[in-house]
Structure 1
Amino acid sequence: MKTMLNKLFLLMLLSGFAFAQGEINLTLLSNFDPYPSIGYNDCWGYTAPDGKEYAFLGVLNGTSVVNISDPLNPVEVGFVPSNTSTWNDIKTYDHYAYVVIDASGNGLQVIDLSDLPNSVSLVNTFTGGGFASSHNIFIDENNAILYAQGGGGVRVISLADAANPVQLTTISAPSVHDVFATGDRLYVSEGWQFSYSIWDVSDPTIPALLGRFNTPSSGYAHNAWATDDGNYLMTTEEVPAGKTVKLWDVQDPQNATLMDDYIATATSRPHNVHIKGQYAYLAHYCDGLRILDISDPSNILEVASYDTYPGVGSNYEGNWGAFPYFNSGKVLASDRTYGLFIFYFDGANITGLDDPPAQNLPSEFQLAQNYPNPFNPATSIEYNLPESGEVMLDIFDITGKKVRTLVNQRQTAGSQYRIVWDATDENGKAVSSGIYFYRLQVRGETASFSQTKRMVYMR
């Protein structure tokens, strides 16, 4: 394994991969973007009986099945169409994948994986009990139970016959957005009710409410994931922007206690979180994939990150989902624009974030000339930070009027920060052809920096 990773690292140095921004303690193995004109959403993973590893990539019109056993050369081995939808969720059980989309008439798709790597096949579309669509699902593999958002709450579905699901009952809960189960407990994210509920599902046919707690300051209860021992629950609040990811002690379900919280930047937007061992893997939209050490629940530490979307977006762009459960150490992340990212993460080899090696840091502030220039439809702006600080990158037209702010946040010391401007203003409207200026301002820990450069946009 060590020899292979050394080769991978050398290959990435030689290739000069374009997404090198913000890579900390994560090794990027490859980026797979099979449908760039369509767009993506969630991802999941599967290990076949022969040990080969596969990724499921949600596409806006179906599900792509990708062989990642050679992570440098991912290969699509199947595609299962669906109705068109922004939202897609995928989970696996036995040798089946289960797919839902949030669009009426799609049902619960059951995909047979037994013929991998040759092919996959859609063997059933479950519509029992009026199952027409769902936003999210989760599978309790130990008990062969699938929980699905919808039907006025949560559908409880038996997978005893994995190819032929059977609905057992429905849990009545308000405004359900997502579900997660472990042990005898089910955790329900209740969206616009601004609450999370905890249920006893030791007998899934007669679920019993154990407790409910509210998000502080009316944050949208988006998703939740429990630690392996079930003692702590991490939650995300997607709306409004700036809501932190929170870690709760839920050992007493009637008295959930907030232990600590985290957010990448003050105005960013967390999406989905997954937990494996002592690490939480956070899909953080425009802030990419963040890995958090939660071994001390009262002190969440960010230990790794990678920005899958180096451009500037609406806060709903970027990293949608993650999958950290391969035994090989591979981690998947799905980006709405750029598709599937395959990483390697080794928690035993984390370097300090507060004191990065001096040889990796630039010796001075530097703002590079944008490239290409002139440009159409987009251009890249790169800069170096010899020390951490508050960073602002603005675009101005020839009259001096500010057109757009591309960066306004604290950033750590590092080289080749890369920002993409797509020639739109703050409202997403395309700007006119002409001369523009970009200005970088940094208020560092010991020094300040300001520089302006000229560029030309040609429509």
Structure 2
Amino acid sequence: DCIDGLAGDGVYPCSNVHYRAYLSLGEINESDQNANDIWGWKDPQTEKEYALVGLTDGVVIVDVTDAREPEYVGKLPEADLVATSKDGAVSKSSTPNIISSSAQDPRMAFHDDQDGGEGKGASAWRDIKTYQNAMYIVTDVNPRGMQVFDLEKLRNVPKSAMPVTFEHDAHYTEFGVAHNIAINEESGFAYAVGSTKGRTCASNGGLHMIDIRDRLNPVYAGCHLELEAGGYIAPGYIHDTQCVNYDGHDARYQGREICVSSAELSVLVSDVTDKENPQTVSVFEYTGNRYAHQGWFSEDKRVFFLNDELDEIRNGHNTRTYILDMTNLEELRVDSYYQHSTLSIDHNNYVVGNRLYQANYLAGLRVLDIKEPTGSAMSEIGFFDTTPSKTEIEFDGLWSVYPWFENGKIVVSDISQGLFVLEMEP
């Protein structure tokens, strides 16, 4: 437990967040790799809980049902490389087009050092989501399309066989590279963003829409490219997105499928209800913007909590979370911002009820009370620092957090450390 501000035999600074287990990179991978994204899945049949942890060469699956005794189940290696043909289609190839956007994107130099530089090795970026007991994986830098893996296979893995090397069940190759993938579980559509080398908008990294209602047979559904968004890598480039069946405060869009995208130099709101004719609702640029990275709606969709990945470095202030007023989707505005006590870069954040769970690189996991979502009313109610030996403003430490398990269980991925299983009272 977190006692007197420390957890894990006095190693990790904390407050109200308890240490349960840690698996190092060496324990969940045979080769020397780094961790990136993390997601989770609970088997509705067995009620087992799994952490899905991205590495630079694949995804590892860890059974975290017993928070104190996690078990390494196996690994899904990354897919074969795919390459772009002259007509823009994507196909498998032994001599793929390796691409890198480091010249345009100011965040990528550090990660290029990790993955070999200029796309020569595996990718420092991998993104994972789940839908209907399937896992969907995309990767950046090297073009590998989208892997689909049937998580129900985990029911048949005996302990004596672990760790298992898995194979994917489908390989979607309508794009090569994608930085992130979002899934609207209500509609059954996935949205690859930051995608290149593929159909239409994929070459600029816009919203690449995929029908996954037949969960193991993804089908291209359409794209949305807004050239007024983006900025560093390409006009229209989207870094991350959240897509929902909208039931918020703007009556004009209730019942529509809406995506709110963090698009480098702007925030883009899109109506993607009609996949063949998606529409731009608004493009918003905010004061102090350096790199709109990722964000998440409050549960009532009144506000959107936005991370800017470069403002701490370039503007010289502490960690800052922007709170966007979303009551008028056609005219967004910054209501206020929450200023943290830390200097770290904020990376990914997610909302569960009245809490905002943030993975803030070298400041670790930060949990904010958002019952009153304004900068002056919000407060930090818990934290866990996975990298206490470092306090600099660097691209290291906690990459992401999955806070949706029941009973307060939280899993987080640290770039250099590995997987942590934590708990916080609900």
- TM-score using structure 1 length: 0.69
In structure 2, the partner of 1:79 is 75
Q: Judging changes above 3 Å, is the alpha-carbon distance between structure 1 residues 258 and 16 closer, same or farther for their aligned structure 2 residues?
A: closer
1:245 aligns with 2:321: yes
Q: In the alignment, is the contact (CA less than 8 A) between 2:25 and 2:416 conserved in 1? A: no
- Aligned letter for 2:405? F
1:138-186 deviations in whole A, cap 9, x for unaligned?
1001111000112121101000211111111111032211111122210
Cα pair 2:342 2:363 within 8 Å, conserved: no
Aligned to 1:179: 241
Instruction: Give the 3-state SS of the residue equivalent to 1:35 in structure 2.
Output: helix
Please, which of 16, 25, 45 is the counterpart of residue 16 of structure 2?
Answer: 25
Structure 1 residue 314, shift from structure 2 partner: 5.2
1:190 pairs with one of 259, 263, 281: 263
Kindly state the Cα deviation for residue 16 of structure 1 after the two structures are TM-superposed: 7.2
Q: Which runs of 5+ in 1 are unaligned?
A: 1-8, 348-459
Between the aligned residues of both structures, percent identity stands at: 29
1:291-370 aligned within 5 A: 291-298=367-374, 299-312=377-390, 313=392, 315-347=394-426
Q: Note if 1:53 corresponds to 2:65.
A: no
Name the aligned partner's letter for residue 124 of structure 1.
Answer: A
Which protein has greater RCO, CA pairs closer than 8 Å, 6+ apart? 2
Letter in 1 for 2:360: H
Q: Deviations over 1:224-253 (max 9, x none)?
A: 111122221010000142461111110101
Whether the 8 Å contact between 2:7 and 2:18 is mirrored in structure 1 is: no
C-alpha displacement of 1:89: 0.3
> Is 1:126 equivalent to 2:126 in the alignment?
no
Cα distance in 2 for residues equivalent to 1:65 and 1:19: 28
Per-residue deviation, 1:108: 0.0
Match for 1:104 among 134, 138, 142?
142
Does residue 1:145 correspond to 2:207, yes or no? Answer: no
1:136 to 174, 177, 180: 180
Q: Tell me if the contact between 2:127 and 2:138 (Cα under 8 Å) persists in the aligned partners.
A: yes
What residue is the counterpart of 2:91 in the other structure? Answer: none
Tell me, yes or no, if the aligned pair for 2:362 and 2:397 is still in contact at 8 Å: yes
Which amino acid in 2 is paired with 1:122?
A: H
Higher Cα radius of gyration: 1
Question: Contact 2:123–2:142 at 8 Å: present in 1 too?
Answer: no
**Distance change in 2, residues 1:264/1:31 (3 Å):** farther
Return 146-155 or 35-44, whichever deviates more: 35-44
Contact 2:407 2:425 in 1 (8 A): no
Q: Structure 2: where are the runs of 5+ without partners?
A: 80-121, 158-163, 196-201, 227-235, 246-256
Cα-to-partner distance string for 1:275-302 (whole Å, 9 max, x where unaligned): 1111111110000000111110122211
**2-side partners of 1:57 and 1:19: how far apart?**
26
CA contact (8 A) 2:286 2:334 kept: no
Deviations along 1:338-386, one digit per CA (max 9) or x if unpaired, are 1111111124xxxxxxxxxxxxxxxxxxxxxxxxxxxxxxxxxxxxxxx
Q: Does 1:279 align with 2:349?
A: no
When the two chains are superposed, the root-mean-square deviation of aligned CA atoms in Å is 2.1
Q: In 2, distance between residues paired with 1:48 and 1:19?
A: 34
Secondary structure of 1:122's match?
coil
Q: Which moved more, 1:239-248 or 1:297-306?
A: 239-248
- CA shift for structure 1 position 24: 0.5
Q: 3-state SS of the aligned residue for 1:89?
A: strand
Rate the CA distance shift 1:264–1:96 in 2: closer, same or farther, 3 A: same
Between the aligned partners of 1:182 and 1:46, the Cα distance in structure 2 is 20
Deviation, 1:35, is: 3.0
Task: Give the match for residue 220 of structure 1.
Answer: 291
Query: What secondary structure sits across from 1:114 in the alignment?
Result: helix
Separation in 1, partners of 2:409, 2:275: 33
SS of structure 1 residue aligned to 2:407: coil
CA shift at 1:263, angstroms?
Answer: 3.9
Conserved? CA contact 2:302–2:327, under 8 Å: yes
